[in-house]
Every structure is written in structure tokens, then in C-alpha cells.
Amino acid sequence: MFPYIPHTPEDEKIMLDSIGVNSVDDLFADIPKDVAFNKELDLPLAKSELEVTNYLNKLANKNCSTTENVCFLGAGAYDHYIPAIIDHIISRSEFYTSYTPYQPEISQGTLQYIFEYQTLISELTGLPIANASLYDGGTAVAEAALMACDVARKKKILISETVSPQSRQVLKTYAHMQDIEVVEVAMKDGITDMEDLEGKMDDDVATVIVQSPNFFGVVEDLKSSADLVHKSKKASIIASVDPISLGILKRPGDLGVDIVVGEGQSLGMSLSFGGPYLGFLATTEKYLRKLPGRIVGETTDLDGKRSFVLTLTAREQHIRRDKATSNICSNQGLNTLVATVYMVTLGKEGLREVAMQSTKKAHYALEKLEQSGKYKRVFDKPFFKEFAVSSNIDADKIIKDLRSENIIAGHHLGIDYPEFKDSILYAVTEKRTKDEIDKLSSVLEGI
């Protein structure tokens, strides 16, 4: 017997009799002989819960976790504080064992939290419409760009070199499939080069993608970029943002950005070796019927009660098939609940305080690192919670030496930007203490 399979031999007999066959094998008689797999799969036999747990514990213990080490690594995924109540709420199995809310009568819980999520993302970004999520920050950039091209009926995208290299790679993969041209806009001193952007704007450009804070942690001038892009007829601007930064920085929607996307991992999701995270997307009414993914809307039921349903489904694959705005079906469901509970728990004051503490601690860290004289800032620009410093010490040596002091170093910028091979990008969240930052500084000074 297997714990998840309830059938006794007697049950099987009753069922086979009802069907009118002699054995379970007879139920597979429709698989032709030349296709049937007549061997045993080359996998181990079933194991007990204890054996499985022991084995997986062993694998987990081979990794260096951010609870046992001090994490200054970011570059798209961040070690923010996660309130304890989040895991308790998402562990309600009425939430996590349910399917997509296609039957609204028994899915009001899911539908309502998605509606709350859409409202919160809308408030955060300063734009009126948000969808129910995309897979992650990178695919959100790509889906937003495809939507912008579709609406503008053009096939050219400009993307700043300061946008996360991963997002740019994902965009290129998606765009290639639809013969959409992707042109990179150069950077200058750690931000998008506005002259290069202006020079590359032409009538063929459907959309321009920037990121703020950008990959280097530097805050970009979204207003100037938006104004420049909108001089061109029918071109839109997409900004990828860190949601935590919106606790203090101006909302992109208020600065003229048309589509805001981003990686939502910072909103309460564990690092989990890169996923599952959350892609968010907010925009103006103009794009409502072109959005990828699910949208929840408010309505009333037969008795006039407020209720929620999946809406505008005529955009989606299960209705429109090859005419759908995207092929997305399963999205990040439960992670939108994580983000919702996070934003609600931190609330009006909390999101601001997390943003404040992160940026103040990051600025303190940069100051400390520069004091030694061995490390200097790479970009002299306003930054949020991440900054790059360079030195004449080999980056791999720095990362290794910090490792031996149980510090997870920042991201080596040379991996994606050869011109910054001596630079490391450090992330400092509200979780880091003064002692931890001081230790980082003193270890670095001693290398």
C-alpha cells in the first residue's frame, strides 16, 4: 500500500467487476505493443517519509543558507524580512490546494485576495489597472513589451543596458520568436544615456524599457525618460521597478510611465534559489483588453451580493486560443497572496519604514566601505538599497574571503558587464544590522 493511494485489493476487484474487465492490465490494452513500456522505470523503489526526509535534509544541509550566513547579495533577489504570519496564511490548504477560481461560488477567497492584490499593486505603482500576476520580473518585462508592440502595431523595442541582464535575455528570447527587433540603449555613468536614447528614438519604436532602481541600484530619472519617449508618436514607456523602493520614491504612474512591471520577490517571498517569485504588471485603461494573464473583477450575484469573478476572459487562451493576448494559464497564484499579505501587514507605515531602513543602511555601508580607501563607489549617482564598489583586489578573492567569514558577498558585476570586472554590487536590506555591516567593512579592509 502507498499512503496516497487508498485502494484495497477488494476495492480493486469491485471496480474491475463494474467495468467488466479482469485485471488492471486490461485497462491499458489500448496502448499498442510497440509503444508500451515493458520494463521498470530506472528509479528507486518507494521510500518512507523518514527516509525521504533524511535524504533531503542531507541535501539541504550542503547549501549555505542566508540564516546561517550574512547576505549582502541582491542583483534581482533580496533578503528582506518576511513577517511570520505570511507562511501561516498561505498554509491554509483551502488556499494552496485549490485550483484556478473557475467556479466563483466556491472560490471567493482566492478571487477576493487577487482583487485586493490588484488594488494594492495599482496603488503602489500609481496606475489604475493591474493583472493577477506573471511568472517573474523577467517574463513580466517580456510580456509587457509584446503587449506594447501589439497595441502600437510596431516591431521595435528599445531597452536600456542598465536593465537587469536576465530581463534583457528573456526579452530577446521572446522577441526573436515574433521577429521583433530589440535595440539596446547605452548607459553612461551607471544610468541610461539620454542622448543615446534620443538618437535611437524613431517612428518604428513601439516601446522603451528602463529599470529603476536599475541593475546597479541607481535610481533613474523616469520622468525625463517618459517625456522623451512620449515625444515620439504612439511610443510607450515600460519601467521595471523594485516594489520596496516605492515606499519612498515617486510612483512611476505619476511620472508618466505607461506600463510598470517588476519582480515581486521582495514582497514577502523566500529566496528559494530563484523561485517561485512573482511578476507584477500595472498599466493604464488603454491596455485593459490587451493585458496578458488573469484579471479579477467585482460584480454581483443572483441575490445582489458583492462577489468576484475572473473577468475579461476573452483575452485568454482557454477562450480565444490562437487569438489570445498571451498563452499564460497557471501564473503565480499563491505568491500573489504572499505579496498581498505582505503589503497589508507592512501597510502604509511599514513599506515606507522598510524602504527607509534599507536605503539608510545601504548608504551607511557604502560610507563604511569607502573609509578604508581600498574600495570606491563605481557610480556617483543616487542609489536605493544597492551599490557597486570597485577595488584593485580580485573579485573572486573577495567573494571567497568573505565566504570564510560567513558573509555572502555581493554580485560580481564582471559576469555581465566586462567593463566592471573589478566591481561588486552589494545589497543592504533592513534586515542587516550595524554590526553586520561593520563586520563586512572590517573583513573587506583586511583583504
Residues from 202 through 231 that contact another protein (CB under 8 A): 219, 221, 223
Q: Does 201 bind another protein (CB under 8 A)?
A: no
Residue 316 engages another protein in binding (rule: CB under 8 A): yes
- Contact call for residue 137 and another protein (CB under 8 A): yes
Question: Which residue's CB is nearer to another protein, number 78 or number 375?
Answer: 78
Report if residue 252 touches another protein, rule: CB under 8 A.
no
Identity of residue 178: Q
Residues 6+ apart with CB under 8 A from 248: 352, 355, 356, 359
Should residue 22 be labelled a site residue for another protein when binding is judged by CB under 8 A? Answer: no
- Is the CB of 258 or the CB of 431 nearer to another protein? 431
Q: Which residues have a Cβ under 8 Å from the Cβ of 296 and sit 6 or more positions away?
A: 101, 111, 114, 115, 118, 132, 308, 309, 310, 311
Cα–Cα distance for residue pair 72/427, rounded to 1 Å: 5
Site for another protein in 40-79 (CB under 8 A): 40-47, 49, 51-53, 55-68, 71, 73, 75-77, 79
Write out the three cell numbers for 397: 578573492
CA–CA separation, 268 vs 78, rounded Å? Answer: 10
Please return the burial class of 114, using the count of CB atoms within 10 Å of its CB with bins 0-12, 13-18 and 19+.
Answer: buried
Q: Does 341 bind another protein (CB under 8 A)?
A: yes
Q: Are 133 and 335 in contact (CB under 8 A)?
A: yes
- In this chain, which of 195, 202, 203, 301 binds another protein, going by CB under 8 A? 301
Residue 190 engages another protein in binding (rule: CB under 8 A): no
| Vertex 43: Cα angle to 37 and 46 (nearest 5) | 110
299 binds another protein (CB under 8 A): yes
274: which 3 cell numbers? 530563484
Q: Which stretch binds another protein (CB under 8 A): 27-35, 152-160, 182-190, 200-208?
A: 27-35
Among residues 22, 34, 231, 373, the one that binds another protein under rule CB under 8 A: 34
Told to check if 183 binds another protein by CB under 8 A, we report no
Q: Residue 18 has which C-alpha cell? A: 463494474
Of 126-134, 154-162, 196-204, 231-239, the segment contacting another protein by CB under 8 A is 126-134
Q: Which of 145, 202, 197 is nearest to 172 (CA)?
A: 145
Asked if 89 is part of the footprint of another protein (rule: CB under 8 A), the reply reads: yes
Report H helices in 153-221: 165-177, 194-200
Interface with another protein, residue 9, by CB under 8 A: no
Report 412-441 residues binding another protein (CB under 8 A): 430, 433-434, 437
Task: Kindly state whether residue 284 participates in binding another protein, applying the rule CB under 8 A.
Answer: no
- DSSP-assigned letter for residue 10: H
197 in Cβ contact with 208 (< 8 Å)? yes
356 to 415, contacts with another protein by CB under 8 A?
Answer: 356-357, 359-361, 363-364, 382-383, 399, 403, 408, 411
Residue from 319, 380, 397, 421 binding another protein (CB under 8 A)? 319
